[in-house]
Structure 1
Amino acid sequence: MSRRMNRRSFLKGTVGVAAIGAAGFRPRRSQAQDKRTLVVAWDTDIDTLDPAHFKAIGGYVTVANCYDTLIGWKVRPIKDKPGFFRSQPAEWDPMIAESWSTERDGATLVFKIRKGATFPSGRPVTAHAAKYCFDRGLQSPGYMRLVIPALIQVKSPEQFEVRDDYTFAIKMEAPSPMALDVVTLSNNAIIDPEEAKARATKDDPWAGEWLKRNVAGVGPYHLVKNEPGVEVVLESTKGYWRPEPYFSRIVLKFVPNEADRVLLLKKKAIDMVVGRPGLSPKNVKSLEGEPG
């Protein structure tokens, strides 16, 4: 990716801001920050950073940038809309799993885990970590315990199988057209099992309380600040298995009032807005003639 890329031509590519790219944005050149820092205003705060539990876009954006999944949806440019990208339906790219195949006429998915990927702790990412995360989704209190049985017909942790350190299999009761889409969800982010287990308690065996405000995964970014109701700060992960992201630092500010978001854009104190809608059509129109 070009080091000269400006914010208006911001590309998802290796930047790792998958959720920001998917949510839509209006890039502007911030005067307050260097060109390798992206400052974002969003309209919803983080509810939780637990991959199996988050519901708000704030949680999604942060999880998607701090955790990899086994595979990811292909993301391609939108024609005639420079700087905007869209996920491609029924198309996937390797991530933590460098390849995958099927058995039993599609009822079993087999993933080959990428060798050399490590968690920030230095521990290798293995099939055991993948199983822990899918076991956790199925058995912890989050909504994934409903999604997994309903969409991929997995009702028991025994259906998540470690064949060797780098081979992980999902044995469904029958083939599912939703299987790879479910695997791709950020809810199935790969967590460092040892980090989570170290914070587990008798009443909280899956470390849900700790994972509300902390992250323990491998991803293009890692969490350096999480101040509820104020901002989240992410920095690029050194030694990440993919190319270095263009932006080395991302500041995600919670700005609930749209008028304040517009004012910050006009003052060039932020580079973009994320949300649903983030900016109303009226305010988008009013900003079209603004420089930057």
Structure 2
Amino acid sequence: MLLVLLMGAVVTKTDSGNGCGNSWPLCYGELLPTAPKLETIIEVSHRFVSAWLGILVIILAIWAWRREPHKKEIKILAGSAVFFIVLQGLLGAAAVIWSQSSAVLASHFGFSLVSFASVLLLAILSFEDRDRPFIAKVTPGFKKNIYWLFVYLYAVVYTGALVRHTGSSMGCGPEFPLCNGSVLTTLGSQASIHLLHRIAAVVLFLWIAFSWYHAKKHYSDQKVVNKGFQFALLFVILQAVSGIMIVLSNLNLFVALSHGLIISFLFGTLSYLVLIVYRK
């Protein structure tokens, strides 16, 4: 799942989405195009790996459903993994055949993250003691805080994907924290899209920092909850650093890929926290 996420990011960052023209599932009418350009190799590789992953996810979902038929969360996660990986595949195909808006293209990465988190949680649950599933005992208020934090994280992910697909990664120029020498910018411009993502990311950092402090203060006896928010805080700090480095390095490919990788770790961590507080 991580490999496919990274390959999808490479396709976007190298503008290889049109590496096969508007031909799908074949590439220029061929299974393996002759004398392909670099962008064609990147696009075809992503298609092959994604197709193979889709088969593996379906096998995993059926296997998990049959192995743990009594667990409600297994059924939900298995269905979610299959549904969203198929959905993001169809969305990718539609983007190749018909031109899509930036808003629609931005949802592609979001759907991939949901499928990734579903597979990750299935993997974690497969190692869990069947007779003693872990349940986090927190107040209803803190439980709602975790739920809304997760929803907000998804919104921040969407704003980041929108930055990429609108070509706004350098919308504020090669500077930080100012945006083209100012703290404000014109609405509707690439700079405003980039600045929106920056502001949303700052709020996310403060929210996770508060949740980490609250968990440390009030749930010190629950190691998993504390560790979860420790990792969440670490990942959001690394995410912020990598985001700044993208701007300062003028869209260095490896820095940009690390940005996508770290957000996957953060999304997976909060997904698990949602799972353990959801359980009755």
TM-score by length of 1: 0.26
More strand by share: 1
More helix by share: 2
